[in-house]
Chain A
Amino acid sequence: MNDLYRPRLVTIRKTVIENEARDIKTFELVFLEQKDREKFKFDCGQFAMLSVPGAGESPIGIASSPLDDEYLHFTVKRYSTGVVTTALHGLEEESQIGVRGPYGNFYPLKAMQDKNILIVGGGFAFTTLRSTIRYLLHDKNRSRFKDITVFYGARSPGELIYKSELKEWEKRGDVNMYVTVDRGEESWKGRVGLVPNVLKEAAPSSENSMALVCGPPIMLKYTMPPLLDLGFSPERIITSMERRMSCGIGKCGRCNIASKFVCKDGPVFTYKELRDLPEAAV
């Protein structure tokens, strides 16, 4: 019998608390069996079901790059009403959990070759974009893409995630970083301003460009118009959707947005596809 619903076991090798509120944690997971890691071939934008036996499963976007072949990173936000995320956050390093996947479609990086790439992220919705940035900036890949520009913002400096990586990327000459916060603090010497406003001001060119956008619904609502104004056509704006999931493989009927399953036909959609999809509410 195939083990369609059975997760593979992983150990939590390391945990990093990403934010000041201490409710966003990155888990570094290592498969118990190397053959499971080899089988887990994934692309940027995909997700996996993380299993905490006794609590349940939760779909989480993969935050590590496909080229980080020793481990997987998942950045998980704990919700007070979330059984699985609460249980996950309560686990110590060396604990074992399950991973099922990779599932879903992925960012169309092949189509983005030889193009300029604009990446826009907000708050917690930066995890699969981080996977993408790591992948794009890798020596093996960088030369295949043109300019890479990243806009990323959080509500306050403490809420920015992947802080050390953001600093590293800011030092690099092959990526343009615009990190911002909605409200600053005394110690914050960086940019202050909402992501859509910073984007409007910087006005990146849409020529030969594609945009990857991930953020909470409110951020998407105010980011799409400036992108369209800048000349990005709806087919060239790529985003990732979320819904509550159970099976992750298009069978249980839970995660659909109209006729599309977010786990199977998504989570990656173009803005054009979403505008034509009822129930997408974009």
Chain B
Amino acid sequence: MQECEKELRKVAEKLLAEKKVDLIIGYEEGSLPIRTRPVFIQETGETSRLVWNSRCESNLCSYLKTIKGRVGIVAKGCDIRSIVGLVKEKQIKREDVFIIAVPCAGIIDRKKIEDILDGRELLEGVENDSQILLKGEGFEEKVDKDKLVHASCKSCGHRNPVLYDTLIGKEISQPEIGECSDLEEFASKPGDERWAYLNSEAAECIRCYACRNVCPACYCPQCFVDQSLPTWFGRTPHPSDSLIFHMIRTLHTAGRCVDCGACSRVCPMNIELRMLNKKAEKDVKELYHYEAGINLEELPPMATFKMDDPQEFIK
């Protein structure tokens, strides 16, 4: 991992020095223990700020929506699939993005660390290849990283980049990923139990829209949420309005969501509505044999019509 970081910095420095890009978007260490955050680098010499580790959590591709010029972006497997999606939907030009692919075996979920801490303050986190050492006042605990990895990473079928301009390090092993067991378990529950769960999650929503803003697939200049004519649903965090917001966002991102998990990571209220996205993903795969962001050639099914599109739902 340390090797990758060194190589990443060298590559970034060279790209800026040779003026192949105007800007590098990557990760740097944050101002709180174990936090990393996005960094925008334009000057050579600043690239020593770049880091690459199991804590690099945001999906940086949401910034591609507004950045101009040629951008070098540090991208994990899921991020790269987002980029493929954005290029396919003509939001960015392929030649404007220099994909610096980093091999990713999974990013830790800070919420799992919060659960372990159970109210204790984390003062320092030290990471090695397999573990994180959590240190605080009067405690030191080693935790295996694979216990901390985010659910989206556990079900990731694309650790290695589907597309790139340069690869940092080498491709890593890709375990076989079957059906999403979380979804299977959820889908097997009776309808009213699932409905009750979705409602109780949505009731916690404070409508901060962090999930929407961090999502690379959400780039509408005017989101349906902000439309006043017509006003699609109420602005207040009434549970039914919040649930509608999440359901419609799921439908809008169906066939486009790559399950990077950014939406679930940024939610301050620990809402877990990933099942909605996973279900949409499964349906798209079954109906249209399509997986989002795998290659630039396949046409996005939600924006394409074919005569042989399945129609069993028309009764």
Contacts and interface: CB of A to CB of B under 8 A. Distances in A.
A and B touch in the complex (CB under 8 A): yes
Interface of A: 80-83, 86
A86 B228 CA distance: 11
Interface in B210-247: 228-229, 231
- Counting from the closest, the 8 A-B pairs by CB-CB distance are A83-B228, A83-B229, A81-B229, A81-B228, A86-B229, A83-B231, A80-B229, A82-B229
Main secondary structure on chain A at its contact with chain B? loop
Contacts of A80: 229
Contacts of B228: 81, 83
B17 to A, nearest CB: 38
Nearest to B227: A81
B236 to A, nearest CB: 14
Contacts of A81: 228-229
B222 to A, nearest CB: 10
Nearest to A79: B229
Nearest to A84: B228
Contacts of A83: 228-229, 231
Contacts of A82: 229
A86 B229 CA distance: 10
Contacts of B231: 83
A228 to B, nearest CB: 38
8 contacts: A80-B229, A81-B228, A81-B229, A82-B229, A83-B228, A83-B229, A83-B231, A86-B229
B60 to A, nearest CB: 31
Nearest to A86: B229
Nearest to A56: B228
Interface string B257-286: 000000000000000000000000000000
A80 B227 CA distance: 12
Nearest to B222: A81
A121 B240 CA distance: 48
A244 to B, nearest CB: 12
A127 B125 CA distance: 64
A189 to B, nearest CB: 40
A90 B203 CA distance: 36
Nearest to B231: A83
A46 B229 CA distance: 28
